[in-house]
Amino acid sequence: MSINLRLLKHFHAVCRYRSFSKAADELGLTHSAITKSVKKLEIDWNIKFLDRTTKHVAPTEACRRLSVKAEAQLCFSENV
């Protein structure tokens, strides 16, 4: 399975903020772009990472596990 660092970066920002809007603001993207990125990861990997309501975003256990790995991978990619 290949990893798209752009999608991983979007995913990690949502996990940190627990907000699509705040992640979008940080990355200078639209809410829609961030939503599509996370949804693509969920579809590609067939895993639900976030429980969404109209007011809250809550990470699933899979999200918590991937978030730790994502942070390490993103730090590594920035240092290469």
DSSP string covering 30-73: -HHHHHHHHHHHHHHHT---EEE-SS-EEE-HHHHHHHHHHHHH
The confidence score (pLDDT) of residue 35 equals: 95
pTM: 0.85
H or E element: which one contains 52? strand 50-52
Joined together, the tokens standing for residue 63 give 């999200």
> C-alpha angle with apex 12: 8 to 13, nearest 5 degrees?
120
Q: Predicted confidence band at 1 (pLDDT cuts at 50, 70, 90)? A: low
The confidence score (pLDDT) of residue 56 equals: 84
pLDDT at 33 over 80: yes
Q: Predicted confidence band at 20 (pLDDT cuts at 50, 70, 90)? A: very high
